[in-house]
């Protein structure tokens, strides 16, 4: 019987707080835009890391926009 292939989970910033801030275009929960959210599973690990590096600044931007 063939061995089942094990898949490693894809790291994601999603925290199940899905709400788009219309002023910035970013999700209030994770900081990604819609293209990044919908394409996340197709991106390479390098692309996902590049986006993850942007998220702390984006979350600050969202906070300022919603204050």
Task: Give the pLDDT confidence score for residue 13 in this predicted structure.
Answer: 95
Give a yes or no: residue 58 inside a domain: yes
Task: Give the pLDDT confidence score for residue 23 in this predicted structure.
Answer: 92
Give a yes or no: residue 40 inside a domain: yes
What pLDDT, in 10s, does the model give residues 10-56?
Answer: 899 999 999 999 999 999 999 999 999 999 999 999 999 999 999 99
pTM of the predicted protein model = 0.82
Q: How far apart are the first and last CA of the chain?
A: 58
Are residues 7 and 41 in contact, defined by beta-carbon separation less than 8 angstroms?
A: no
Residue 62 lies in domain:
15-67
Number of domains in the chain: 1
CA angle in degrees (0–180, nearest 5) for 66-31-46: 160
Task: Give the pLDDT confidence score for residue 9 in this predicted structure.
Answer: 77
Give a yes or no: residue 7 inside a domain: no
Task: Give the pLDDT confidence score for residue 6 in this predicted structure.
Answer: 63
Give a yes or no: residue 67 inside a domain: yes
């Amino acid at each position: 019987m063939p061995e089942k292939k094990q898949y490693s989970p894809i790291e994601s910033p999603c925290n199940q707080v899905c709400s788009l801030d219309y002023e910035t275009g970013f999700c209030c929960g994770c900081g990604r835009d819609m293209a990044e959210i919908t394409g996340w599973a197709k991106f390479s690990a390098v692309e996902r890391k590049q986006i993850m590096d942007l998220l702390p600044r984006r979350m600050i931007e969202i906070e300022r926009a919603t204050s």
